[in-house]
Amino acid sequence: MRKLVLLGGVMLCACAAKTPGSGSTPSGTGSVHQVRRVTVADGVELEVLDFGGRGPALVFLAGLGNTGHVFDELAPRLTSQRHVWALTRRGFGASSWPEQGYDTATLGADVIHALDGLGIERATLAGHSIAGGELTWVGLHFPQRVEKLIYLDAAYAHAEVDDLLKDLPSPPVPEPAPEDQASRAAVSAAVAREVGGRFPEEEIEQAHVFDATTGRLLGERRWPGALRRIREGRASLDFSSLRVPVLSLYVAYEGTRREEAFTGLELMSPAEQEKVRAVFPRLSQLLLAPQEAIRKLPGSKVVGLEGAEHYLWLTHPEQVVREMTDFLGP
């Protein structure tokens, strides 16, 4: 959540080293998923992970910068209730990298076209962070294709928050320590410290480019303009108009922790700090308003996780699985 507020949804980690082919790929828990591709537009294919399972479809959508592999250890825990899938959005990882189509409506349409390509008539969608925009757009425009929606720290007024923060000074972004870029293991450890838990190994691999000889981090695997285009294309969405059951799990920030939303605040001048702190009341409203709207929806539930970090299933795995399991039902 902290990076969501400061950078508009951009988290520390993004996308990968090698393009996987079709077949079985072991996750960090020893589970296996099938990797395939599905066409969602002319010249645009998405990477799809099929974790198997029984029952109706549950489709995970990753946060900004991540791939579907970020759910490699969460998804298998839900296969007793659902047939579980995960998508990697356009512009990232092994999916196609077109120069267009990063607005909320097109990304939402990609989800519908992916369901079509997989032969899924109706699914529960579970999205993290920026994927909340795609969840809400699909829920509003294609409710007949949605069984339920699950927001994993994703039910936020992203467009409105962006507008509030656009004229604020940006704190200095510290350069990563050289030792944190020395190898896959070093990157994995650095990400774990930042997000509160280790990413699956395949997410580290599919989220970065590493030097084939030295193993050193070279960069993130994504189309260079993807982050900017997604931020610019965010739509303002009305959570209160959703007509499907919703589960929203979110980071329950307390009082002064709001200031932690602005990493680097202490590095600003006093005048800049004052300008940033002046938006906190409105920021608090924007962060909580979607949760209040969701509470009023029939069959819906909102749960604030105290002490959690943005990647909720890494810091609070048992609670997240329990809440999702109960919400999905038999």
Percent of the chain predicted with pLDDT > 90: 72
> Residue 4 has what pLDDT?
32
* Tens-digit pLDDT profile for residues 121-153: 999 999 999 999 999 999 999 999 999 999 999
- Strand intervals (E) in 241-283: 246-252
Whose tokens are 């795995």? That residue is 317
The predicted pLDDT at position 25 comes to: 43
How distant, in Å, are the alpha carbons of 145, 196, 263, 300 from that of 58?
Answer: 12, 25, 34, 17
pLDDT for the residue numbered 40 = 98
Q: What is the pLDDT of residue 266?
A: 76
Instruction: Give the pLDDT band (50/70/90) at residue 24.
Output: very low
The average pLDDT across 2-30 equals 35
Coil, helix or strand for 145? helix
- Read out DSSP for 163-232? HHHTTSPPPP-PPPPGGGGSSHHHHHHHHHHHHTSPPPHHHHHHTEEE-TTT--EEEE-B-TTHHHHHHH
Return the structure tokens found at 285.
């409203």
Please say whether the beta carbons of 197 and 169 come within 8 A: no
DSSP 268: S
Structure tokens given for 328: 């999905």
pTM: 0.89
Match 């930042």 to its residue by tokens: 194
Neighbours of 267 (CB within 10 A): 12
State whether residue 37 is helix, strand or coil.
strand
| 3 state DSSP class of 236 | coil
Average pLDDT, the chain: 87
Residue with tokens 């294309």: 233
pLDDT at 290 over 60: yes
Q: State whether the Cα torsion 158-161-163-166 is positive or negative.
A: negative
Helix, strand, or coil here: 50? Answer: strand
Residues with Cβ within 8 Å of residue 34, at least 6 apart in sequence = 22, 23, 24, 49, 50, 52
| pLDDT tens-digit map of 225-239 | 999 999 999 999 999
Alpha carbons 218 and 50: distance in angstroms, whole number: 29
Angle at 159 between CA 294 and CA 3, to 5 degrees: 90
pLDDT interval class at 253 (50, 70, 90): low
Of all residues in the chain, the percent with pLDDT exceeding 70 is 87
**Model confidence band, residue 31 (pLDDT cutoffs 50, 70, 90):** low
- Alpha-helix runs per DSSP H in the chain: 2-7, 104-118, 131-141, 158-165, 184-195, 201-206, 226-232, 270-277, 280-295, 312-315, 317-328
Structure confidence by residue, pLDDT tens digits, 172-208: 777 889 999 999 999 999 999 999 999 999 999 999 9
Look up tokens 């946060």; give the residue.
Answer: 63
pLDDT at 271: 87
CA dihedral 138, 200, 328, 289 (to 10 degrees): -50
39-87 pLDDT, tens digit each: 999 999 999 999 999 999 999 999 999 999 999 999 999 999 999 999 9
Indicate the angle between helix axes 104-118 and 131-141, nearest 10 degrees: 70
CB atoms within 10 A of CB 104: 20
Judge whether residue 10 has pLDDT over 80.
no
